[in-house]
Amino acid sequence: MILPDLPAAAPVLARIVAAVLDRWPEHRGYLDRRFRDETPEGLASAEALAGLVAAIAGDDLGRVIDGYRHMCGMINDEEIHFRRTGRYRLSSFAEVEAAIYADPACMAPYLDGILLSQLLWRNHADAIGLYRRRFLGGNRPGYRHLEIGPGHGLLLALALADPACAAAAGWDVSATSLGRTADALARLGIGRVANLRAVDVADGHALSGARFDSLVASEVLEHLERPDLALETFRRLAAPGARLFLNVPVNSPAPDHIFLFETPEAVVDMTRAAGFDIEHTAFLPSTGLTLDRARKIAATISAVIIARAPG
């Protein structure tokens, strides 16, 4: 078992890790790097996150692990292509929609993999920690919340659980994603209802004059041909003084990533150009890497940005 004291300190995390290793023993080296230097505070945060992941997975944890392994294989293939060519394989949303989003047989295991990565990938887990503590914790009482691309449902569930949140909505172009979000909220026992809608934020007519105090787009901009236009749309959706949480992976090849951000600063600059004031940034490198090393070898960095609309 990874970390001799892991079972006592984090029993749910230990159970998930053991289940992963049972189905994928070759992943031990990576998981050792992920958890061996974890601080007590970080381990407590991981245990809390593991509880949410376990609740969403329920009796389907084996299926979720298989989806995670499948996703890692897909990403490895894309990483090889990226290293050879310096670019992502696909370049249009139409290609991605046909290959993944419109195909439930492909999309469902991919969403399973993304769910488990929120716990097992250090940059993903740290991003959720910032979202929970710094973003939601800084929102004004009675805030109206919108998440674009809620997917696995974790972030939307955390917003619905926040007493300061008056109402929450989730918009996505994928029916499979919206269904998975609804299922996650039900499994977590969230008593409040989220307004889940099939909306393409690229379609200005679909926005209907809605305004929100809290907006989230976690791992969304890299899926778009024109993320700059999406940020301008977010600005139009923002009520005066609204806050925006972005999580954008840089140099991060994946089957459905089409826009290549080469530096975290490029995401910050694009956000500022859309009319947002930058409140906080955090650049989170992949598991086992320092930020300097990740920059040097063009490895994945999660650019987390908290910004505010003028108000």
For residue 250, what are the β-bridge partners? 301
| pLDDT given for residue 1 in this prediction | 45
Average pLDDT over the chain, rounded to an integer:
93
Residue owning tokens 């090393």: 293
Higher pLDDT, 254 or 208: 254
Mind listing the pLDDT tens digit for each residue in 28-47?
A: 999 999 998 888 888 999 99
Mind listing the pLDDT tens digit for each residue in 246-281?
A: 999 999 999 999 999 999 999 999 999 999 999 999
Mind listing the pLDDT tens digit for each residue in 173-205?
A: 888 889 999 999 999 998 888 999 998 877 666
Angle in degrees, 0-180, between the axes of helices 11-23 and 28-35, rounded to the nearest 10: 160
66-70, 148-152, 204-208, 237-241: which has the minimum mean pLDDT? 204-208
Mind listing the pLDDT tens digit for each residue in 119-164?
A: 999 999 999 999 999 999 999 999 999 999 998 999 999 999 999 9
**The residue count for the chain:** 311
DSSP 216-259: EEES-GGGSS-HHHHHHHHHHHEEEEEEEEEEEEES---TT--S
| pLDDT given for residue 6 in this prediction | 72
- pLDDT band at residue 105, thresholds of 50, 70 and 90? confident
Residue 100 has pLDDT above 50, yes or no: yes
Exposure pattern of 62-77 as b/e (b: 16+ CB <10 Å)?
Answer: eebbbbbbebbebbee
For residue 247, what are the β-bridge partners? 218, 304
